[in-house]
Amino acid sequence: MSFPKEGLSRSDVATVLRDLRHGDADWHAGRTFSLVYFAGEDVLAVLRDAYQLFIHENGLSLDAFPSLRKMETELLGWCCELFGGGPASAASLTSGGTESILMAVKTARDAAARATPNLVLPVSAHPAFDKAAHYLGVAVRKVPLRADLRADVDAMAAAIDGDTVLVVGSAYGFPHGVVDDIPAIAALAQSRGVPCHVDACLGGFILAFEDEPVPFDLRVPGVTSLSADLHKYGYAAKGSSVVVYADRSYRRHQFFAATDWPGGLYGSPTLAGTRPGGGIAAAWAVLRHLGRDGYAHLTRVVLHTAAALRAAIAGTPGLRLLGDGRHSVIAFTGDDLDVYAVDEGLRERGWHLDRLQNPNGLQMIVTPAHVQAASAFEADLAEVTAAVRDGRRTAGSDAAVYGALATLPDRAMVQGFVLDWLDLRDRPQEG
C-alpha cells in the first residue's frame, strides 16, 4: 500500500466513504449492542451541528477558545452536581472511560505515594483498570463475586493492605449490569483510610435518572472519585467522559506540568494534549438539549425496552438470565446450550451481541434504538435457539475458537493469541 499521489475530489471521497459503510454493523436499526448509543435523529442532529461548528478548535488552550472554556466549565459543573459532588468537588473531561479510569488510578497512586502500590477491585471491573495499572506500575488485586454477581466485600477487606492506593466498585459492571454494594465498599475503604472509585462509566447517566435511585455516587460516604462516560448513556459524540472527584485538592495529583521546555511552560490536566473542540461542544450541546427531563425520559424508554427483551430471553427454553435484571444491561447464559452458537446464528441475522465468559454467555446493552427491534429479536432468538437446541446448528469455527479460548487454562497462551490478533488487525484485507 503506497500513499496516494493524486488527490480525490470532495464528492468522490464522500462516495468512497459511503460505500465503505455498507459492511458495517447496522446500529440505526437497533441490531447492534454495546458499541453505539443512539438516542434518535433529533439528538444526532444536535451533535452534528455542535461538532461541525468546533471541528478545528483545540481544547488544549482554553485561553485561546473562551467558548470551549465556558462549555467545559459548565458541563463539568453540571456533572459534579448530577453525581452528588459538594462545593469542594471538581471534575475533568477526558476522551473516554479508559482515560477517566487511567486518571483516577494515577491520582490515587500519586496521592498515596507508596513504593509498591496496589489496587483492589472485583473481577467484574472493567479491563481499563488492568490497563491503567499496567501503564502506571500498580499491582492489581482481584476479588471474586458473590452469588448475586456483586463484588465480595469481605474478600475486599482481606485484600486491602498498607500499600492499597484505591478500592473500586462498579455502577454498574459491564459484564452483567449489576451495581456493586457501593455503600459497603466505600465504608470499608474509608475505614481503612483508602480512596474509593466508583466506575459509573456505563451506568452513570442511567442511574442518575432512574425513578427508584440506588446509592452509587459521591453522595455515598467514602466515595472519592467517579467516572461516567458522556459517549455512552450521555449520548454524546465518541470521545468524551468525565472523572469527578469529591475533593479538588485530591484531583491535583492528576495534573502534569513541565517547566523547563524551550517551548514554554506546559501544563496538562489529563492524558491528552490536543483535545478536539468538536467533542467538547457536542457533549455540552447534548446535555443542554436533553436536560434532566430528556435524560429521565430516555432512561424510562431504555428500562422499559430492557424489561421486554429480558422477558423474551426468560421465555426462551435453555437460556438463563444473569444478574439482578434491574438496569440497562442484559446478560444471559445457556443451560446445556452453546450460547456462542446462538450468537453466531444471531450474527447471521444482523444482530451484534457481546460475548461473556466464566460462564459463557451473551450480553446486550440496551439503548433507545432498540425499542423498534425488540419483537424482531424475540422471534430470531426463538428460532436460532431452537436450532441450536435440537442440533440443527452447531458452533462454526469462529465461535468454537472463541469458546476454546474462554476455557483454556493457560491464560498466558490466550494472552499471546489476543496480542497476535491485535497485530493482525492492521494488515491489509482482501476485497
Ligand X SMILES: *Cc1c(COP(=O)(O)O)cnc(C)c1O
Residues that bind ligand X (CB under 6 A): 96-98, 101, 126, 128, 170, 174, 199, 201-202, 229, 241
Cell of 224: 472519592
State residue 189 phi and psi, 5-degree precision. -60, -45
> Shortest Cβ distance from residue 360 to ligand X (Å)?
20
> Shortest Cβ distance from residue 291 to ligand X (Å)?
23
Q: Are 178 and 172 in contact (CB under 8 A)?
A: yes
| 84 vs 97, beta carbon nearer ligand X | 97
Cell of 191: 475505614
| 175 vs 334, beta carbon nearer ligand X | 175
| 206 vs 399, beta carbon nearer ligand X | 206
> Shortest Cβ distance from residue 9 to ligand X (Å)?
35
> Shortest Cβ distance from residue 168 to ligand X (Å)?
10
> Shortest Cβ distance from residue 103 to ligand X (Å)?
12
| 98 vs 270, beta carbon nearer ligand X | 98
> Shortest Cβ distance from residue 297 to ligand X (Å)?
22
- Beta-carbon contacts of residue 325 (< 8 Å; ≥ 6 apart): 310
Residue burial 26-55, b: 16+ Cβ < 10 Å; e: rest = ebeebbbbbebbbbeeebeebbeebbeebe
| 112 vs 236, beta carbon nearer ligand X | 236
| 174 vs 377, beta carbon nearer ligand X | 174
> Shortest Cβ distance from residue 79 to ligand X (Å)?
15
| 128 vs 306, beta carbon nearer ligand X | 128
| 174 vs 205, beta carbon nearer ligand X | 174
Task: Count Cα neighbours of 317 within 13 Å in the Cβ-side half-sphere.
Answer: 6
> Shortest Cβ distance from residue 97 to ligand X (Å)?
2
> Shortest Cβ distance from residue 125 to ligand X (Å)?
8
| 71 vs 329, beta carbon nearer ligand X | 329
Cell of 57: 478548535
Residue of this chain nearest to ligand X (CB atom): 97
> Shortest Cβ distance from residue 224 to ligand X (Å)?
17
| 210 vs 229, beta carbon nearer ligand X | 229
CB atoms within 10 A of CB 342: 26
